[in-house]
């Protein structure tokens, strides 16, 4: 059985092939047309007779961040047309009073109301379909009516009428994509799904055609939750794949940590454009029911990855006050860092690492680096300062997923991967007082390895918003969102016996108190159908012992080992670095 995983990043596209117990890897530069990169990476790894092909993509993420989606309209219950613009009526930043929220994906002039009203107990005002406005000239429509998560009939009728009127447009109803309470988050998610639909579906159709021409099977697309979807499913609801690539990296990091004997770890995936971090507890990646992408809330199951604009290709620059900044702009793959010799002239993190002697002159894949070009690009900028600034950005991300959520990072190992992660991991670990860093042999392509080894997972959610005592019979497996009656937010605990008592204990652990006499409210139940991925046996890697300061050249990445650190490979091919 041959299993292929291809992960498209901002700079490189990585492929991992598992065939006959052998793992083969390849890395190619990402092309402007991503489907070409996918096929090129599959060819580079020698993919043939592939039975399962999983793909991680950033097309949806990039389209949202760059605001290159469809011309979208928004339809809400009359009187709530401005929901996307009113948001939660809170400030973007607590102490920066003038900082603006990101502009909604749908401008005010394309937000409309339909005459209807549903309340918690049912229909309050009948639906009048003739109140729907003329929406000519739009490519997509998002529909979000009040209480549609509980009573979706009005939304179904509105969506059906819009599809009849606008056969060429993409129409998305909120109960189809995010059937959960909280109108603003549901509306934001639905708008993003509609906005991304035409862009992502065009890419996926092109990808399917390119794969068929290359005699590859139609790929499964990794969802943000770590599960997979068919091309048709992903095209129908692209919001589910907004953090597709980073999710694969977190899954791969959890696999490496478990096999090296570390149940608790933090993943550090530093690529060419960004860095993704994720907490791994008990051998499982953290998951969340909501996350912000480009400043917009997306209420969908997702691997709990935190992303910052700090990568090997991140550009160093001076702000108006003369302070050194790094990122979020990146040189990408074309032209890439100055040292790539492809016409890049701006200084990047990779140029700084090369000048500091932390990179070889030839990278994995045979890319020759030009140290003179790196020095010219840096000019008077101290390369050590560039590394310190980008490290500070990544430290903030690592603290978000650990310290700010009540976890002591000293109790975790740090799993470093991506093309640049192992270059910075030991210095980051020192700042957090982490004593162990894990660098897998396949560090440069670990996200693609996670695609190969990941489970097939399909998540579901059902909203309740009722007293727990009135919820009736609940599934045996899954998670429940619970809160004390009157609270605004909820905690997620595993379903099973003594559910109420386990919520009390979780509340006490998080907030320092529990009120066992107060009634509980069940907000939602989350379930997942999981089919285990293929059994992955990593090939043995040659022995390696390293004592810092030293540069360790791995198969797909380079590791910088500072003074005071020593490392040795284990039987799984993972280099375990420890502070002496």
Give 447 or 428, the one with higher predicted confidence: 428
The least confident of 193-197, 235-239, 456-460 is: 456-460
Give the per-residue pLDDT at 75.
Answer: 97
Residues 526, 475: Cα–Cα separation, whole Å: 9
Report the predicted TM-score, pTM, of the whole model to 2 decimal places. 0.83
Residues 408, 346: Cα–Cα separation, whole Å: 38
* CATH of the domain spanning 246-311+394-452+537-579: 3.30.420.40
543: left (phi over 0), alpha (psi -120 to 50) or beta: beta
**pLDDT tens per residue, range 387-436:** 999 999 999 999 999 998 889 999 999 999 988 999 999 999 999 999 99
User: If 0-12 CB within 10 Å is exposed, 13-18 middle and 19+ buried, where does residue 384 land?
Assistant: exposed
Residue 20 pLDDT greater than 80, yes or no: no
Residue 123 pLDDT greater than 80, yes or no: yes
Cβ–Cβ under 8 Å, residues 310 and 390: yes
Most confident stretch, 87-96, 166-175, 235-244: 166-175
Sign for the CA dihedral angle at 436, 439, 440, 443 comes to positive
**pLDDT tens per residue, range 478-531:** 999 999 999 988 999 999 999 999 999 999 988 889 999 999 999 999 998 888
Name residue 566's beta-bridge partners.
Answer: 547, 578
Give 131 or 328, the one with higher predicted confidence: 131
Confidence of residue 364 (pLDDT cuts 50, 70, 90): low
Q: Delimit the domains of the chain by residue range.
A: 65-198, 246-311+394-452+537-579, 314-386, 460-530
Question: What angle (nearest 5°) sits at the alpha carbon of residue 404, between those of residues 384 and 490?
Answer: 150
Residue 230 pLDDT greater than 90, yes or no: no
Q: How close are the terminal C-alpha atoms of the chain, in Å?
A: 43
Residue 438 pLDDT greater than 80, yes or no: yes
Residue 64 pLDDT greater than 90, yes or no: no
Question: What are the tokens at 43?
Answer: 């060819």
Residue 380 pLDDT greater than 70, yes or no: yes
User: If 0-12 CB within 10 Å is exposed, 13-18 middle and 19+ buried, where does residue 485 land?
Assistant: exposed
Q: What is the mean pLDDT of the chain?
A: 90
Residue 91 pLDDT greater than 80, yes or no: no
Residue 65 pLDDT greater than 90, yes or no: no
Residue 549 pLDDT greater than 80, yes or no: yes
Residues 346, 43: Cα–Cα separation, whole Å: 32
Give the per-residue pLDDT at 365.
Answer: 61
Residues 277, 569: Cα–Cα separation, whole Å: 23
| Mean pLDDT score, 192-203 | 93
Residues 357, 467: Cα–Cα separation, whole Å: 62
Give the per-residue pLDDT at 571.
Answer: 81
Residue whose entry in the numeric block shows the structure tokens 């009203």? 117
Residue 539 pLDDT greater than 80, yes or no: no
- Of 296, 286, 306, 312, the closest CA to residue 422 belongs to 312
Confidence of residue 469 (pLDDT cuts 50, 70, 90): very high
The least confident of 82-91, 415-424, 450-459 is: 450-459
Q: How many CB atoms lie within 10 A of CB 139?
A: 18
Distance from CA of residue 380 to its chain's centroid?
Answer: 36
| Mean pLDDT score, 155-171 | 96
Confidence of residue 23 (pLDDT cuts 50, 70, 90): confident
């Amino acid at each position: 059985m041959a299993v292929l995983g291809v992960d498209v990043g901002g700079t490189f596209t990585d492929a991992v092939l598992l065939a006959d117990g052998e793992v083969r890897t390849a890395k190619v530069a990402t092309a402007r047309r991503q489907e070409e990169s996918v096929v090129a990476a599959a060819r580079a790894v020698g993919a043939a007779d592939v039975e399962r092909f999983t793909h991680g993509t950033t097309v949806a993420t990039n389209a949202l961040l760059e605001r290159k989606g469809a011309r979208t309209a928004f339809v809400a219950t009359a009187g709530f047309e401005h929901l996307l613009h009113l948001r939660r009526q809170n400030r973007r930043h607590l102490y920066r009073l003038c900082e603006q929220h990101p502009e909604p994906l749908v401008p005010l002039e394309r937000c409309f109301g339909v005459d209807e009203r549903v309340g918690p107990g049912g229909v309050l005002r009948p639906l009048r379909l003739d109140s729907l406005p003329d929406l000519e000239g739009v490519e997509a429509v998002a529909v979000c009516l009040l209480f549609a998560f509980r009573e979706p009939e009005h939304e179904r009728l509105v969506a059906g009428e819009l599809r009849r009127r606008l056969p060429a447009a993409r129409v998305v109803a909120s109960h189809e994509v995010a059937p959960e309470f909280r109108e603003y988050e549901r509306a934001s998610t639905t708008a993003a799904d509609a906005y991304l639909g035409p862009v992502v579906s065009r890419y996926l159709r092109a990808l399917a055609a390119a794969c068929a021409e290359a005699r590859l099977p139609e790929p499964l697309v990794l969802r943000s939750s770590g599960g997979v979807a068919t091309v048709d499913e992903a095209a129908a609801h692209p919001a589910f794949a907004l953090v597709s690539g980073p999710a694969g990296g977190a899954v791969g990091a959890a696999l490496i940590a478990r096999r090296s004997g570390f149940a608790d770890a933090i993943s550090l995936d530093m690529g060419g454009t960004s860095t993704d971090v994720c907490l791994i507890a008990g051998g499982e990646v953290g998951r969340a029911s909501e996350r912000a992408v480009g400043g917009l809330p997306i209420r969908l199951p997702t691997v709990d990855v935190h992303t910052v604009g700090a990568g090997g290709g991140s550009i160093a620059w001076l702000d108006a006050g003369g302070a050194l900044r790094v990122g979020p702009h990146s040189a990408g793959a074309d032209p890439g860092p100055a040292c790539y010799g492809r016409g890049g002239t701006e200084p990047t993190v990779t140029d700084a690492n090369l000048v500091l002697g932390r990179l070889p002159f030839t990278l994995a894949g045979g890319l020759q680096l030009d140290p003179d070009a790196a020095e010219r690009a840096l000019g008077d900028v101290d390369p050590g300062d560039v590394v310190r600034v980008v490290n500070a950005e990544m430290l903030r991300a690592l603290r978000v997923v650990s310290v700010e959520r009540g976890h002591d990072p000293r109790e975790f190992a740090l799993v470093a991967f991506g093309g640049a992660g192992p270059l910075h991991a030991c210095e980051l670990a020192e700042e957090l007082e982490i004593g162990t860093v894990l660098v897998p042999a396949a560090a440069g392509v670990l996200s693609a390895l996670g695609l190969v080894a990941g489970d097939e997972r399909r998540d579901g959610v059902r909203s309740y918003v009722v007293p727990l005592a009135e919820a009736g019979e609940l599934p045996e497996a899954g998670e429940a969102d619970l809160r004390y009656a009157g609270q605004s937010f909820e905690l997620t605990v595993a379903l099973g016996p003594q559910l109420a008592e386990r919520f009390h204990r979780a509340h006490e652990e998080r907030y320092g108190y529990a009120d066992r006499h107060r009634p509980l409210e069940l907000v939602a139940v989350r379930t997942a159908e999981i089919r285990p991925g293929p059994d992955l046996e990593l090939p043995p890697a040659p022995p390696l012992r390293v004592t810092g300061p030293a540069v360790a050249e791995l198969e797909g990445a380079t590791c910088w080992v500072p003074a005071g650190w020593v490392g040795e490979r284990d039987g799984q091919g993972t280099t375990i670095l420890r502070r002496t």
